[in-house]
Structure 1
């Protein structure tokens, strides 16, 4: 929608300093891979300096299992999807945020992600585990959509989107579109300011 897009099938682009200074947003879709120290450092520095980052599902939430600083930047890391493809509900918990404003709760038939999540992210939508597939997580409420800052950069993540068909769910697609737009404004508007209930002094 009016953006100039560069597409790469490897991570060498992160080491291109001229490119990383030019772009407003990185959308990463790279699952269970490896990133070199130089590539990771370049990406982290770009986001710290104001480049936005947006991603979904394992393409960002399960990219580099050995890279803790990358996981800190994203705000979470995949652990499991009990039951594999199941039907589950997504609950919108922030009706004021522009990413989720006006959207209703909805259902997905896909992988329900159980994740390790940074408690300082701004959670916009959640899901609750039934315990049918792993009884010890019955009732666990898990973030599905969140936003955060990493330095001057805006970071948006959604655990939805195992396959392209998932975005035939109108709410899932709308959340991604809005989240991408929000993260892309990082350099122009700076990081959002909000108070975390766990860190009210920040």
Structure 2
């Protein structure tokens, strides 16, 4: 199937090692030769990047050097697939506008519970919400056959451009303790063509139990296969 590169690191709260380890057996079953890197420094190695068919990134709230980002962007433009979930791809390098342009969407916030119900931990931002497939998503290979599904976890509010193809959305409702005055629809799963490369972003995935959700896991795994150079070149 090709060569896959897992790049992980950044904020420990997203469990980058444990989270990416969940998908190693899948990649092996699909015939990928997998290399794991604990740093984005590998993006600046042109030989490695030229041989990589798929990058799975799980790096949250970190920074990236210019040469590393150039290597990543060039690889994707040349056909390397790029995918990830949650903050590991949508909140990786806040200070890099060129990275934000590459992925097409950036985490802005995850709204919280009613203030009197908050416990002072991460569950303050765990809301019951629905991931709604778009009409396009119902036909796309990544999400075809799935139905809308409910999660209790962080609900990402995403700022994005219109070069993305949205497979699923989630709606932030109006609640009296929040300052917005009409529902806000955010993309929850999207794809993006960048040169010859394919990008897939899945915003659910805060914790290991969310990644184990059958619908979330299906989207992520199918996204890996669809994004890979071996698929996009066929």
- Superposition pairs for residues 33-72 of structure 1, below 5 Å? 33-72=62-101
Equivalent positions of 1:39-188 (< 5 A) are: 39-83=68-112, 84-93=125-134, 94-132=137-175, 134-136=178-180, 138-184=182-228, 186=229
Q: SS state of the match for residue 65, structure 1?
A: coil
The answer to whether the Cα contact below 8 Å between 1:147 and 1:157 also exists between their aligned partners in 2 is yes
Contact 1:153 1:187 in 2 (8 A): no
What are the ranges of 5 or more consecutive residues in structure 1 without an aligned counterpart? 192-202
SS in structure 2 at match of 1:131: coil
Residue 70 (structure 1) shift:
0.9
| Aligned counterparts of 2:231 and 2:109: Cα–Cα separation in 1 | 36
Q: Aligned with 2:106: secondary structure?
A: strand
| Structure with more strand by fraction | 2
Residue-by-residue CA offset, 1:106-147 (whole Å, 9 max, x unaligned): 001110000111112100000111122524064111110000
| 2-structure distance, mates of 1:168, 1:12 | 29
TM-score normalised by the chain length of structure 2: 0.78
- Give aligned pairs, total: 190
| Contact 2:197–2:232 under 8 Å retained in 1 | no
The TM-score with structure 1 as length reference comes to 0.90
When the two chains are superposed, the root-mean-square deviation of aligned CA atoms in Å is: 1.4
- Larger helix share, 1 or 2: 2
Structure 2 stretches of 5 or more lacking a match?
1-28, 113-124
